[in-house]
Amino acid sequence: MIETALPGADVKMLDEGGGDHLRAVVTAPQFEGLKRLDQHRLVRNALRERFDDGSIHALSIKTSVPG
């Protein structure tokens, strides 16, 4: 889902417990020039459906720009 929203992104999803506490490590060219907060918003919004349907309860995010 993240890759669809952010083409070219490198995404690693790690399970931090129970399958619904996830950690997303995302490197994406789209993050260039964005504040961390906005980078996180992009990732979170890409996964919004999963939040809304309850399949993700908690998500921690680590973002970076490639290169």
Contact set with another protein (CB under 8 A): 36-37, 40-41, 58, 60-62
CB nearer to another protein: pick between 7 and 37: 37
Cβ at position 26, least distance to another protein in Å: 12
Cα–Cα distance measured from residue 24 to residue 18, given in angstroms and rounded to the nearest whole number: 15
Spatial contact of 23 and 11, defined as CB atoms under 8 Å apart = no
CB nearer to another protein: pick between 55 and 60: 60
Hunting for tokens 């070219």 — which residue is that? 8
Cα–Cα distance measured from residue 45 to residue 25, given in angstroms and rounded to the nearest whole number: 15
Cβ at position 1, least distance to another protein in Å: 18
